Structure 1
Amino acid sequence: MIPLAEPNAVRPLDRHTGVYPGTFDPVTNGHIDIISRAARILDHLVVGVAANAGKGPIFPIEERMELVRAEMDAIAARTGTVIEVTSFGGLLVDFARDNGAGVIIRGLRAVSDFDYEFQMAGMNYRLDPTIETVFLTASETHQFISSRFVKEIAQLGGDISSFVPALTLERTLARVRSSA
């Protein structure tokens, strides 16, 4: 008979290092939700802020990293997961490999996200079959939030306070006002 593990014991290889990539322009409560949930299943999470100048970000990469970091201490304290925030460019599988990650975390908001994410997961697997993609579906209260919509609503004078953390709200409104 195989002895059962203690109920709270963590066996080696039960938890891994993962990366959660994104542009985070701006970081939303939906991103924070996915990070919180990923932190519950990983020992180490690297949040990768993509340079991605092609998307025309409103925040420089350093500020996007700062806004993500501002939310991580509470999540790390609550989950016991080590969370790092760093920038990256290039292939996602290279970023994952460089950080010792065997898992790529991707958030899904709606069925429309799935087709693109499914294709990306397949391509990443072909590039490096040792790295798995794990999809986390957004909580029902965050399924409709996207950075693109948040920016557009803010630029049109709408209330984005329920979509972003407090510091991000302050910085986004200041950025929108200064560009008007």
Structure 2
Amino acid sequence: MKTSVDWFRKECAASETRAAGRVTPGLLAPVRVKLPNNPKALKLEEVATVGVREGSTLLITLFDEHTVKHVEAALYDSGIPGVVPHRQDARTIKVPIPRPTVEAKKELFMAAKRKAEEIRVQVRKQHAASIKRGKYEKHSIELEEFQKLTDKYVKEVDNVLADLQKATASKGS
């Protein structure tokens, strides 16, 4: 349960950073590059370094200039909103990141809301699995403790989501 909530907290922190308009190399963490001679997709960090320039532009410097087309394709395929790569030279790709609009902030919050529900479901599934594994008697102390834990972590998810809502709503564009 704790692991699920901690993961959700990290996801919301990333969304909050994005909603605030701060650009970090972590924004491109989900990008996976498929190379023709490698059957497994590689993380972007395995084929290039990512840095921030002027606070709103990501600069990708490739280790090997032959991978530039594959990295550009991976950036387009990633589905990250606002990511449009521009080739600067044989080994450098520039990715300007626009400041998030009010609609983009709302979309970030709605995505976090969907993730929150998934995490609540995971916490409840853990609760049910623990009870099933333990074969406890009805009205036992263990059942009460499991319920308290479940309630605690569901409330924590709600608090993280409420904090994200405050953070995304208070920062006007």
| Same fold? TM cut 0.5 | no
The alignment's TM-score, normalised by the length of structure 1, stands at: 0.27
Which protein has the bigger strand share?
1
Which structure has the bigger radius of gyration? Answer: 2
TM-score, with structure 2 as normaliser: 0.28
